[in-house]
Structure 1
């Protein structure tokens, strides 16, 4: 028997790898001779670096960069050796909301500069391909900080560099490229982005995500206007680039700020696509493709997936459904395990998950059942019992 295990992380409890190994141990207790393949899983958010780097046989790196308030933080990313080195990153390592206590959240001054420093470090180590998850930012600077770190000149009317954070955009008058590192032209960026918000407007990053980053109504109004101003200057910049090299297909969206995902991570989606010709894609689809899950599933007898909470939202592009879609291409049975099963989780059965189970074997507080050791035991025990039933039915 062969089982392929691809379980998303249980946030605050088990990593994807820990959950997968726990499920594997449960299967091996019943079928000790079986082949069990654990594929770390993520959707572009927290855990993507570990899941993709380990799933693709890479190594973790660390570099000191500026955090959202300019204080140095240790950012971890992965490098995978391929035909060309691929860097696996999460912008939250350098600009994440979890890096700051709630009382210090302030999108007027938080910066993405450290994201650019991470990219520079990977370029210096020979990377030219990038897979970057852009969820969980504490910033709203439209990616200006990242661009500055990479050598773009973000100037005010006097020719000086603008200040950090969203507030700097109010003084932006021009964008230059004279000091952009030349290696950037050789780089390709895949951006794991499941946010569809435009840059500006009622559904833009300021209005929708600003409050959770510390913005009040007046700050939201100001930041939205500054980002719109920034997008207009970006349009002028990209038109100049096209005029310089009419054959180039880079900068192919101009300064259009309405495309899906432009508002991701406080406008980082906009900066990546407009200035770095990046592709914004579904995070789970990138992970599934890069870890070559489909090849592993083709000859599997069972496919195991899951996440911390299984509910109606799971079918809206989350990791377990991505796994189930691949499995059903080859007619494979799919079992899902989660910490919590909501009342509306039944819809998952209509999207390829044949049966799902909560792993809560013992009653307890949320803190108690979320503790990694307890959650691991619960996962192993539940999977073991399900496969004992499978074994019984086989006989």
Structure 2
């Protein structure tokens, strides 16, 4: 038996790599005769770029950029495919994890630093950029990215807007005449971990604004600004970015780069697996173990474990899903992809304790799985 261990990150607890190591350790504590292979996965969320760079043995490039609130920070991006392709983690420049809780303010936070990373990648001579957009602190429609690359956002008087995205409601024109001239020759792909649209009740402001510090009033202002951005974009480019799937990713940054950088918006996990050669690892396997913090019906909307399970089931390979939280009752839709779903907790605990115990719980449950497989 060869077991492929392919978890996503357990949010706020373990990285995908550490989760895979914990599962493997649990299996090895058993006397089950098997081989194992760790292949941590990501779906465009925070940590995706580092896994791609590691899997493809890429090179890390240090860079100085501005964080969401305009402070200079040191970060990095990756180069793969002999330096022709840059892999950028938006969260490394514009991420929630860069801010303290009392600093969260999506009316002021911008994606400018991510644009600086793209510009530095172009300086390095790339002709392709892959952006993992999960984990951002921003709801600016990507205006920060575009501004860093030379776009100007103007009001009716022709003056450049300041304090984006709060001032987006005053947008009258977008001047792209000074955009970086190398961009048309660069292929940009955005790995998306959610399929939300830009606007509306399931849009960037309504769904992700509160997660990034916006109260009800701020959500309304963000929605109005993104709506204005969409109206001007439709008028000037003919692209209605309110209708595109994945347009709500990273506070609408995906929509902005789609409209002005001609970026392709793709399902994060499918693209990750194709890029990293996951299919070859799967072909060597007789059982797959995947997981993340929660597995429920939302998992089926393109999250990492679903991508793994879907591909495995197409090949007739059984799948075990591990999570901190799974549905209490059998779920017919989930059961089509996961042969077994297991919650890793073993006693009542508060959320902080449960998060701290994720590693040891994964070890314990994985050993139990291996022991059961051993006795048939």
TM bucket, shorter chain: 0.7 to 0.9
Two-structure CA RMSD over aligned residues (Å)? 2.8
CA shift at 1:159, angstroms?
4.1
Corresponding residue for residue 47 of structure 2: 47
- Distance in 2 (CA, whole Å) between partners of 1:389 and 1:196 is 37
Distance 1:69 1:256 in 2: 26
- 2:233 matched to 1:234? yes
Instruction: Tell me: CA distance 1:185–1:301, structure 2 relative to 1, closer, same or farther (3 Å).
Output: same
User: 1:286 — aligned with what?
Assistant: 271
SS at match of 2:182: helix
What is the distance in 2 between the residues matched to 1:358 and 1:224?
Answer: 37
The 5 Å alignment of 1:263-274 reads 263-274=248-259
- Structure 1 residue 348 displacement after superposition: 6.3
Query: What does 1:149-228 correspond to in 2, within 5 Å?
Result: 149-228=148-227
Deviates more, 1:36-45 or 1:205-214: 205-214
Distance 1:39 1:95 in 2: 27
The TM-score, its normalising length taken from structure 2, stands at 0.88
State the distance in 1 between where 2:215 and 2:320 align: 44
Kept in 1, the 8 Å contact 2:297–2:334? The answer is no
SS of residue matched to 1:266 = helix
Post-superposition shift, 1:271? 0.7
Q: CA deviation at 1:6?
A: 0.5
Using a 3 Å threshold, how does the CA distance of structure 1 residues 368 and 226 change in structure 2: closer, same or farther? closer
- Asked if the contact 2:94/2:138 (under 8 Å) is kept, the reply is yes
Give the gaps of 5 or more residues in structure 2. Answer: none
2:134 equivalent in structure 1:
135
Residue 284 of structure 2 corresponds to which residue in structure 1?
299
Distance in 2 (CA, whole Å) between partners of 1:58 and 1:132 is 15
1:268: how far off? 1.0
Q: What residue is the counterpart of 1:25 in the other structure?
A: 25
| Offset, 1:66 | 1.2
Report the counterpart of residue 364 of structure 2 in structure 1. Answer: 381
Deviations 1:293-334 (A, max 9, x none): 112111312212112233343333222221111112221122
Q: Aligned to 1:78, what secondary structure does the other structure show?
A: strand
Instruction: Tell whether the 8 Å contact from 1:312 to 1:345 is kept in structure 2 after alignment.
Output: no
Structure 1: gaps of 5 or more residues = 240-253
State the alpha-carbon separation in 2 of the partners of residues 217 and 359 from structure 1.
35
Checking the alignment, whether the CA contact within 8 Å between 1:139 and 1:165 is kept in structure 2 is no
Kindly provide the CA deviation profile for residues 121-180 of structure 1, in whole angstroms up to 9, marking residues without a partner as x.
222223332222223333232211110101123233454432132233234333233322
TM-score where L is the length of structure 1: 0.84
- Residues of 2 paired with 1:328 and 1:184: CA distance? 40
1:241-390 paired onto structure 2 within 5 Å: 254-344=239-329, 346-347=331-332, 350-360=335-345, 365-371=350-356, 374-390=357-373
1:8 aligns with 2:8: yes
Q: Distance in 1 between matches of 2:339 and 2:261?
A: 42
Which entry has the higher C-alpha Rg, 1 or 2? 1
What's the CA shift for 1:275? 0.6
What does residue 121 of structure 2 align with?
Answer: 122
Matched, 1:391 2:347: no
SS in 2 for 1:161: coil
SS of residue matched to 1:181: coil
CA contact (8 A) 1:311 1:344 kept: no
